Amino acid sequence: MAGRKPKSARAIAIEVLNQCDPKRDYAGTILNKLLCETDQRQRATDLVFGSIRNRQAIDTVIAAFSSRDIERIPDKLLNIIRIGVYELIYVPETKEYSIVNEAVENAKGLAGTKHVPVKTGKQAGFVNAVLRQVTRHITNRQIQLSQADSKRTLIQTPSTGCEFDTSFLPDPKLSYADYLSITLSLPKWLVSNWLEEYSEEPARQICLASNRRPSIYLRPNTLKTTAQELAEKLNKEDIDSEIVEGTMIKIKSPKAISSLPGFAEGLFVVQDITASQPVRILKPQPSWTMLDLCAAPGVKTTQLAEATGDSATIIATDIDNRRLEMVKESTARLGIKSVRIVATDNLQSITTEIGLFDAILLDVPCSNTGVLAKRIEARYRIKPKVIEEMTKTQSELLNTAATMIRPQGKICYSTCSIQKAENSELIRDFLQNKPHFKLETELLILPSAQTFDHDGGYVAILCKLN
């Protein structure tokens, strides 16, 4: 940015939305390439992720108060409006005039382009009119949900919402699935599935958690430090943090991870509380020979090494060789020596050399329904047929692992899904076909938006009998 004026967070966010189709692109990848052009990195990140995460609700507001179908608004103009509406609804501390004024200026910048082939005044006037119309219809930018009319209020957090003067949302008494789907921007079929599987209030909590601003948790590298020591190091650098469950640290001061004190020295890994559970439940031992069959990006691989004092024999592989490089980078940064990274093509020769494993960590590819708050694009891609195809892959991987485990050895099967088809039902099918295995432990964790918010996930420990 030397010699150039930094771009605003809103300008960066608009650029990302213009380049990102969430059905096929990853916003984070595009955003990372543009963040060097702004000095408002955290705010730009929130605008991008927040506006994509809440797109269905935002588009419902635009359609309701602009008197124009979303499909009739040019994409680049629509993205300017989306950012503005996102801030009006979900960032209530931001001044309305600031939101509207910059949106109008950004619209002027599109004058006469092939994307918006109209005069500056017309397109800027349209953006101004839509945002001011939305503003006029908002009666309270942050109200307690307990005091609000559900049909007029978009949910911001588990306890607050943005209230309008018009009923434009589905009546939750008539169709709770429609209401949750639109207000929390989730696929209706998925919400209906959760309502059927978990009942009304748990399903509501899942939806709230799936649309939260997720907290950042650090797993201290116990080979180099402790949670207490790392927390003290962070606090000395004015990074507000809190120790959770004695072993993890919640970061309260938003900041780029790579710039946090201790990152370069390999003192921590970013990991959600739920994601840390499979290895904890497995309780790996230093004497074990282990295989991480779907290792990339290496978060659980390195956790295996830390849990065993870097003394176990750990083989890490992944079908994606490019992502396997991430495992190499992570082990190097953390100073881990016990992990041997092997390309999938070479796995057979390695296993012939080593023999059967004491434990296999199988963190399988899944639908991501437990981590929708973080993997924001997943809600636009997941379909029932996708889950059906996923379960076939998961079963194949589990059957493969079963051939590589020694008697009394353990398979730690885990997903970041909360769908029964990928979890308990798949494990039941496996056990029916593999009577020489028994289920030792099983745990389903539903996502939560409470104080120590966390993702959802599933873990099953399968023990091979003699």
Please name the amino acid found at residue 465: L
**Left, alpha or beta for 377 (phi > 0: left; psi -120 to 50: alpha)?**
alpha
Q: Are the C-beta atoms of 96 and 137 separated by less than 8 Å?
A: no
Give the relative orientation of helices 75-90 and 9-19 as an angle to the nearest 10 degrees: 130
- Domain membership of residue 155 (yes or no) is yes
Same domain? 153 vs 195:
yes
DSSP 6: P
Same domain? 248 vs 344:
no
Q: Tokens for 42? A: 């955290």
Burial of 307 (0-12, 13-18, 19+ CB in 10 A): middle
* d(C-alpha 116, C-alpha 108), whole Å: 10
Handedness of CA 367, 370, 372, 375 (dihedral sign): negative
Same domain? 31 vs 118:
yes
DSSP 407: E
Same domain? 347 vs 309:
yes
- Domain membership of residue 2 (yes or no) is no
**Cα angle vertex 362, ends 279, 246, to 5°?**
15
Specify the CATH number for the domain of residue 348: 3.40.50.150
Same domain? 164 vs 239:
no
Same domain? 293 vs 167:
no
Question: What is the mean pLDDT of each successive set of 10 residues along the chain, which is 466 residues long?
Answer: 80 97 96 94 95 97 92 94 98 96 92 52 91 97 96 96 97 96 97 95 97 95 97 92 93 83 96 97 98 97 98 96 94 97 91 94 97 96 95 97 96 98 98 96 96 95 94
- Domain membership of residue 108 (yes or no) is yes
Structural domain count, the chain: 3
The whole domain housing 50 covers 9-210
* d(C-alpha 238, C-alpha 234), whole Å: 7
Q: What is the pLDDT of residue 17?
A: 97
Q: What is the pLDDT of residue 3?
A: 61
Quick count: other Cβ atoms within 10 Å of Cβ 278?
Answer: 24
Q: What is the pLDDT of residue 119?
A: 53
Same domain? 203 vs 90:
yes
Sequence-separated (6 or more) residues with CB below 8 Å from residue 213:
46, 49, 50, 373
Same domain? 29 vs 137:
yes
* d(C-alpha 55, C-alpha 61), whole Å: 10
Same domain? 96 vs 151:
yes
Q: Give SS3 for 68.
A: coil
**Left, alpha or beta for 366 (phi > 0: left; psi -120 to 50: alpha)?**
beta
* d(C-alpha 370, C-alpha 355), whole Å: 35
Q: Tokens for 129? A: 């009119």
Quick count: other Cβ atoms within 10 Å of Cβ 118?
Answer: 17
- Domain membership of residue 361 (yes or no) is yes
Quick count: other Cβ atoms within 10 Å of Cβ 125?
Answer: 14
Same domain? 303 vs 325:
yes
Please name the amino acid found at residue 259: S
Boundary residue ending a domain (159, 181, 210): 210
For the chain, the helix, strand and coil percentages under 3-state DSSP, each to the nearest 5: 50, 15, 35
Q: Are the C-beta atoms of 357 and 324 separated by less than 8 Å?
A: no
Specify the CATH number for the domain of residue 251: 3.30.70.1170
Whole-prediction pTM value?
0.93
Same domain? 336 vs 252:
no
**Cα angle vertex 145, ends 141, 148, to 5°?**
75
Same domain? 170 vs 56:
yes
